[in-house]
Amino acid sequence: MSSPKIELASKEKTDTLALGFFSKKAEKKDKKKGPPPSPEFHGTASSDLTALQGRLQDSHHFTGRRNDTNLLRFYQYGAYTNVLLVGLGSASKFKTETVRQAGAAIFLAQRREKLSGITLDGPSLFANVESKEIPRYLQAFCEGYGLAGYEFTDLKQEKPSRFKPSALYISGLEKNPANAKAIQTAAALCESINFARALGDRPGNYATPDLLSKLVGDMAKSVGVKCTVFNKARIIKEKMGLLMGVGQGSVEEPRFIILEYKGGKKSDPPVALIGKGITFDTGGISIKPALKMEEMKYDMMGSATVAGTMMAVAKLKLPVNVTAYIAAAENMPGGKAQKPGDIATSVTGKTVEIINTDAEGRLALADAIEYAQKENPQAILDYATLTGAVIVALGTLATGIMGNSRELIKRVEEASEATDERVWELPLFEEFDEYLRSPFADIKNASDLREAGSSIGGTFLKFFVDKKIPWVHCDIAGSGMQRRDKNYMPRNYAAGAMIRLNTHLLANWERIKPLS
């Protein structure tokens, strides 16, 4: 879906001006209760601003609280006839996430008030930001603005008649060429994230493994990424017994998708991204409860994450080699479905006792990890809605990460700080290995105990990772689906988490050494 255009402008192009205000707490006059906070302007002073601030001080109807917006219609402010007040919260807590959410707040107000075009006074938002940092803050602002309007309406016969803003013009920042580049980068990220969101929001019958491969293939072709798809016969030939076991109960055949982007040196091995693509998960024979099972269409958000990341990497022409692998299957309880107690075999011949058919994502990922290692990647990162336990631990606010490389985990954490996409490391204690010992196979796919579920899932994957290859597992079961904590993540839809983080990580990639 297309977002409104964002342009730098030196002249007024609309009749509405947006101004950012911080919220300043007033001193208490007595011990019980003080006056409400007052809006504080940090941009360029003017006679129009002085008059406006006088009115705001007297009325107390707008305090500058974070993400609050208030439209003053038919209020003359220079050449403008409307003024949109935008709250930025406390100046002491101002950061990139503040402006990202301010961008979303402006878009939502623009849509609500049916303002086709609007002009933002850039200095009013970035007055406290060092000049060299303004492009980074501007990119964050544009991300919030571009992501807030996402909706999935592809399958509605009667499309919503919701008003669609057409443009945002930003004044006062046009002299720095880096600002224009920041807007372009944000646009590429928003398009890629919204593509991933739309993959996730498609129901299972519109995103079967085969349909997913075609959608991802079309995207790859549009951005110049090589796409190879293995059908069932090729999957069997490659000895992906774990992936086949997951999909064998469904009439929808599995697919294995490979995306290759080469932007780095020919001699550099690729960074491997692996995505869980369970297009619908009933739990198989270990069937899930009926309540909210429809949300299991989101069990392929790991695949959406890597597909969206590859789209962003290609659009931004990042100087790194990246290969993505998507293991796609539908987990159904059919007559040929895998059963608890069955033993399946991986690409390299490792055997797995199936304890719980609802622990299927890790099986598909294990085959993908072993296949990816044939290409000798310099690092592996996998993404999966793997465990409900990570939601119990972290809610929807953060992605649980774990891995075998302190250096790679550190890089992911630094990218998290830079992009405001939270991650939290969970342990892979050696003692967890005991939870997955099987008397009948090399390993079993689930523990008999309910404790440490996320780490047990990671422990299973670790068993298939070459000990020399740096690897990080990202459990997005909470962060990847419907979110309520960010105003640029519409709550009824997929979140598109980790794509900003991944893109930053890869944009700043330096070759990583093998583990000893």
Determine phi and psi for 42, rounding to 5 degrees: -110, 10
* Range of weakest confidence among 78-87, 160-169, 350-359, 472-481: 160-169
CA distance 147 to 145: 6
Of the candidates 237, 236, 239, 212, the residue with the CA atom closest to the CA atom of residue 304: 212
CATH superfamily of 5-26+34-166: Leucine Aminopeptidase, subunit E, domain 1 (3.40.220.10)
CA distance 95 to 89: 11
Handedness of CA 277, 283, 284, 286 (dihedral sign): positive
Mean pLDDT (whole number) for 442-459: 96
* Range of weakest confidence among 35-39, 113-117, 311-315, 348-352: 35-39
CA distance 134 to 95: 11
Say how many CA atoms lie within 13 Å of 274 toward its Cβ.
Answer: 28
Our measurement of the distance from residue 189's CA atom to the centroid of its chain's CA atoms, rounded to an integer in Å, reads 10
Determine phi and psi for 238, rounding to 5 degrees: -80, 5
Other C-beta atoms lying within 10 Å of the C-beta of residue 231: 15
Which amino acid would we find at residue 262?
K
* pLDDT value of position 31: 52
Q: Is the pLDDT of residue 233 over 90?
A: yes
Q: Tell me: the pLDDT tens digits for 346-373? A: 999 999 999 999 999 999 999 999 999 9
Catalytic residues, by residue number, are 288, 362
Determine phi and psi for 214, rounding to 5 degrees: -75, -40
Of the candidates 385, 360, 473, the residue with the CA atom closest to the CA atom of residue 427: 473
* pLDDT value of position 29: 56
Strand boundaries in 108-148, DSSP class E = 117-121
Specify the domain boundaries for CATH 3.40.220.10 within the chain. 5-26+34-166
Topology given in CATH for the domain delimited by 189-507: Aminopeptidase (3.40.630)
Helix residue ranges, H only, 373-470: 389-394, 406-419, 453-462
* pLDDT value of position 32: 59
Specify the domain boundaries for CATH 3.40.630.10 within the chain. 189-507
Q: Tell me: the pLDDT tens digits for 65-116? A: 999 999 999 999 999 999 999 999 999 999 999 999 999 999 999 999 999 9
Q: Is the pLDDT of residue 26 over 70?
A: no
> Global pTM?
0.96
